[in-house]
Amino acid sequence: MVSNMAHDYTEIDNQYPAVIALMPATFTSHQFILRFAQQNQGHYIDALAAYRNSQTPFRTLHAQLSERLHLFDNVILHRGTVRSDDIFGDQSECAQWEKL
Can you spell out the DSSP letters for 17-84? Answer: HHHHHHS-SEEEHHHHHHHHHHH-HHHHHHHHHHTTTSSSHHHHHHHHHHHHGGGGTTTEEEEEEEEE
What whole-number distance in Å separates Cα of residue 100 and Cα of residue 97? 9
3-state DSSP assignment of residue 97: strand
Cα angle 7, 92, 5 (rounded to 5 degrees) comes to 10
Average pLDDT value over all residues in the chain = 93
According to the model, what pLDDT value does residue 12 have? Answer: 96
Q: In the chain, what are the domain boundaries? A: 10-99
- Kindly report the pTM of this predicted structure: 0.91
What whole-number distance in Å separates Cα of residue 93 and Cα of residue 100? 23
Mean local confidence (pLDDT), 40-59: 95
What percent of the chain has a predicted confidence (pLDDT) above 70? 94
